[in-house]
A and B are shown apart, each in its own frame.
Chain A
Amino acid sequence: MILNIPDSYQYLIDGEYFMENGKNLAPEIFRTRYINLFKMLQALIEKAGLGDYCTVSRKLLQIAVLDYFADIARLKEFHNLEHVQHDKIYAYEAFWLLRNHPIQVDNEDELDADTLHINEYIVSFLFIKLLATELEYKFKANIQIDKLIQKVESSQYVQDFRFKLFYSFRHRTFTAQTLLLNAESFMAAAQFTLQAT
Chain B
Amino acid sequence: MLYSDEQIERFGEEFVQNFLRGEIKKPHLANEENQYYQGAEERDLEAVLNTNPNSPLFTMSFELRKQP
Which A residues lie at the B interface, using CB under 8 A?
20, 29, 32-33, 36, 39-40, 43-44, 47-49, 79-86, 89, 112, 114-115, 117, 121, 125-126, 128-130, 132-134, 137-138, 149-150, 152-155, 158-159, 162-164, 166-167, 170
Q: Which 5 A-B pairs have CB atoms at the shortest separation, nearest pair first?
A: A47-B53, A114-B62, A153-B57, A83-B33, A153-B55
Pick from A80, A154, A164: contact of B26, CB below 8 A.
A80
Give the size of the chain B interface in residues (CB under 8 angstroms).
31
Q: Which residues of A contact B58 (CB under 8 A)?
A: 44, 47-48, 125, 153
Q: Please, how many angstroms separate the alpha-carbon atoms of A158 and B58 in the complex?
A: 11
Q: Which residues of A contact B29 (CB under 8 A)?
A: 85
Q: Which residues of A contact B45 (CB under 8 A)?
A: 36, 39-40
Interface code B1-41, partner A: CB below 8 Å = 1, 0 otherwise?
00000000000000000000000001011011111110011
Classify the interface of chain B: helix, strand, loop or mixed: loop
Which B residues lie at the A interface, using CB under 8 A?
26, 28-29, 31-37, 40-41, 43-45, 47-49, 51-53, 55-58, 60, 62-65, 67
Q: Is the CB of B28 within 8 A of A81?
A: yes
Taking CB as reference atom, which chain A residue is nearest B37? A83
Q: Is the CB of A86 within 8 A of B40?
A: yes
Q: Is the CB of A85 within 8 A of B32?
A: yes
Q: A154-B55, A167-B67 are in contact. Are A84 and B47 (CB under 8 A)?
A: no
Q: Which residues of A contact B37 (CB under 8 A)?
A: 20, 29, 83
